[in-house]
């Protein structure tokens, strides 16, 4: 396996882990290692450190660039927000920009603001 192919496959694995909410520790699991070794012996899993650092930064930058490109190329935009509480009962606001294809833009934790309309308007303006 070439260096470029290994790098590409590790990035694809990282995207799959991040998008599914799988624990980053899965790359340390002997079962995943064994499975992937049988599937493609020359593939080397990224380390937990790499998947939580260098790969995460790279994928994040690529996604941000992709989102900004979709927004800048769109002829029309809609902003959609959705509020909910996380497992710790903390308020969370998701912001989606429809280009018209929906694109996840940002998650905000308003803290004590509790999603007031002034806070949401200020957040949208930023």
Tell which of 64, 96, 112 closes a domain.
Answer: 64
Same domain, 78 and 51: no
Q: Which of 4-8, 79-83, 97-101, 115-119 has the lowest mean pLDDT?
A: 115-119
pLDDT of residue 87: 82
Tell which of 34, 64, 94 closes a domain.
Answer: 64
Tell which of 64, 91, 116 closes a domain.
Answer: 64
- Residue 113 inside a domain? The answer is yes
Q: In this model, does residue 99 exceed pLDDT 90?
A: no
Higher pLDDT: 84 or 37? It is: 37
Same domain, 12 and 38: yes
Q: Which range of residues forms the domain containing residue 32? A: 3-64
pLDDT of residue 115: 63
Same domain, 19 and 40: yes
Same domain, 86 and 121: yes
DSSP string, 36-103: HHHH-TT--PPPHHHHTTHHHHHHHHHHHHHHHHHHHH-S--EEEEEEEE-TT--EEEEEEEESSSEE
Same domain, 54 and 22: yes
Contact call for residues 94 and 110 (beta carbons, < 8 A): no
Same domain, 38 and 87: no
Same domain, 44 and 85: no
The percent of residues in the chain predicted with pLDDT above 90, rounded, is 46
- Ramachandran assignment for 61, one of left (phi > 0), alpha (psi -120 to 50 degrees), beta (any other): alpha
- Residue 69 inside a domain? The answer is no
Same domain, 92 and 112: yes
Q: In this model, does residue 63 exceed pLDDT 80?
A: yes
Rounded mean pLDDT, 53-72: 92
pLDDT of residue 5: 95
Task: State pTM to two decimals.
Answer: 0.70
Closest C-alpha to 123, from 83, 86, 87: 83
Same domain, 83 and 52: no
């Amino acid at each position: 396996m070439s260096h470029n192919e290994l790098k590409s496959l590790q990035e694809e694995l990282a995207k799959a882990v991040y998008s599914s909410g799988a624990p980053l520790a899965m790359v340390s699991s002997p079962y995943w290692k064994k499975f992937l070794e049988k599937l493609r012996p020359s593939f080397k899993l990224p380390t937990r450190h790499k998947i939580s650092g260098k790969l995460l930064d790279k994928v994040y930058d690529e996604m941000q660039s992709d989102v900004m490109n979709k927004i800048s190329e769109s002829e029309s935009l809609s902003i959609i927000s959705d509020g909910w509480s996380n497992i710790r009962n903390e308020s969370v606001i998701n912001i989606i920009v429809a280009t018209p294809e929906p694109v996840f833009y940002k998650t905000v934790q308003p803290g004590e603001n509790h999603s007031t309309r002034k806070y949401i308007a200020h957040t949208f303006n930023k």
